[in-house]
Amino acid sequence: MSEELKLNILSKLDSDGTIEDTSATFKGVSEEAVLGALKSLESQEVIKYKTLTTEIWTLEAEGKDQLESGSYEVRIFNAVPAGSDGITISELEAKFGKVAKLGQGKCLANKWLKKDGDKLVRTVESVTDKVQADLATVNSTSTHPSKDTLKDLKRRKLIKVTKLLSYSVSKGANFSTTLKKQATDLTMEMLQSGSWKTEEFKKFNFDSLGINPSGGHLHPLLKVREEFRQVFFETGFEEMDTSNFVESSFWNFDALFVPQQHAARDLQDTFFLKDPKLVKSLPDFWERVKNVHENGGYGSIGYRYPWSEEESKRLVLRTHTTAISSQMLHKLAQHPYRPAKYFSIDRVYRNEAVDATHLAEFHQVEGVIADKNMSLGSLIAFLDMFFKKMGMSNLRFKPTYNPYTEPSMEIFSYHEGLGKWLEIGNSGMFRPEMLRSLGLEDGVKVAGFGLSLERPTMFKYDISNIRELLGHKVDLGMIATTPACRLDKKMGQEALQKA
């Protein structure tokens, strides 16, 4: 069809010299097909063409009604009896419905009627229905001599316009009635034979738009993660290196004063490695950790059980990023005292059943503050300031139990959209049995807090099933269309109002 259409265009130009309007010459051929043929011929300078735009005006449903039954204003005028008695506005509305209000406004603007109390009375004896006449002109000619009339009818949503494209065509510099195929690529055969010297190549169209490249998109978790990072940096925190997903049980549990019989260390809760099964050696202060577990110290009686070095060497997929925090605190203890703030945001692993709200891997946001003047009150004041930066100003704290913090608190925030209190994190003061074993001097206290990254992300982006956020069920289209995250702005479920 394309080659045949090109030959027809060339034949018409050869016989008539020009084509005034392709829509009249090539009836039944789509505008897209004609344009494609013209562009191809123009690239060889065989023809030249110009774009013609024709406006076709047609009546909307309301316009058809007023063409048939008269304009709203004339209908209302005719319904008002001559003389001073007129008709009440309520009678008109009962008879004509919404047409009464629309027509009445036009009649008053045209000064055909006037108000007399709650009545309308005529100010002229008769009127001409210009709107109906204009609609008749548009309906028969698809246009109107007056642009102002077209504009007014369109504003009243009585007519609409459709723009039709066609083309005028004339001969080009290389006009011919035959088609010559141009080469599009310089091939190895052309170079070897030398035929490239006489070959006619198709010109490049540098003005044409190429295909938009499919760029990458940030996952919603990464968008929320970056917002958290900025909040931490604004409050003076230093980011910890969390590149080791595998840790020894020593750093993941023992150094945190978690007993070796604790339920968190069962196979049902932790992923243990099979090969390699054990770490080669423990840190040089492991005996201090062993002693505080078995015999206590620093005001504690310990757990009073036989601590196992082999159990401490078992390799696990880290169950929390606190394993990194304990290593950073040990490094801090090797230097002269200084206050410190550390944070981390990375993946952790739990041997849990997967459902709509739980995964075997998720992201933990954690922060620790080490200072000689640190107290529970200081931690509460900091958390209040920290969560305000994320748009959460109404906090509550509930006592809880953690093996390595005492006192410990769960953090709750009131969610206005859902109308209830939601747990958003955990916090507490690290126990001296942990801190002194790591080598921190007396008087140095450390507060810690943590929360998941997935939960606030699900609320921000209105995701109800965590498996739609992370894992093989993720919708790539969702990743491409999610907006940037602002922790201090309401999004998703947060934007909902209480019923």
Cis peptide before 407 (omega within 30 of 0): yes
Each residue of 87-107: b (16+ CB within 10 Å) or e? bebebbeeebeebbebbbebb
pLDDT in tens, 421-457: 878 889 999 999 999 999 998 889 999 998 888 877 8
Average pLDDT over residues 127-149: 93
pLDDT in tens, 4-43: 888 888 888 889 889 999 988 888 888 888 888 888 888 8
Distances from the Cα of 364 to the Cα of 125, 320, 427, angstroms: 82, 7, 13
pLDDT reported for residue 179? 81
Average pLDDT over residues 68-86: 90
pLDDT above 70 as % of the chain: 95
3-state SS, residue 425:
strand
pLDDT in tens, 61-70: 999 999 999 9
> What pLDDT band is residue 111 in, cutting at 50, 70 and 90?
very high
> What pLDDT band is residue 491 in, cutting at 50, 70 and 90?
low
Backbone angles phi, psi at 327, to 5 degrees: -70, -40
pLDDT reported for residue 184? 82
Average pLDDT over residues 376-397: 86
Residue the block writes with tokens 């735009």: 53
Distances from the Cα of 86 to the Cα of 72, 82, 91, 484, angstroms: 18, 7, 11, 62
Q: How far separated are the first and last CA of the chain, in Å rounded?
A: 61
Average pLDDT over residues 309-317: 92
Average pLDDT over residues 349-373: 82
3-state SS, residue 68:
helix
Weakest-pLDDT range from 28-42, 189-203, 258-272, 302-316: 258-272
Mean pLDDT of the chain, nearest integer: 86
pLDDT reported for residue 497? 46
pLDDT of residue 494 exceeding 60:
no
Helix residue ranges, H only, 59-203: 61-69, 72-79, 89-96, 98-109, 130-141, 147-155, 188-193
Report how far residue 437's alpha carbon sits from residue 430's, in angstroms, rounded to the nearest whole number: 12
- Using alpha carbons only, give the angle 74, 80, 85 rounded to the nearest 5 degrees: 155
Q: What single DSSP character describes residue 156?
A: T
Cis peptide before 339 (omega within 30 of 0): no
Average pLDDT over residues 302-330: 91
Q: For residue 9, give both structure tokens.
A: 């265009």
Return the bridge partners of 57, or none.
161
Average pLDDT over residues 326-344: 92
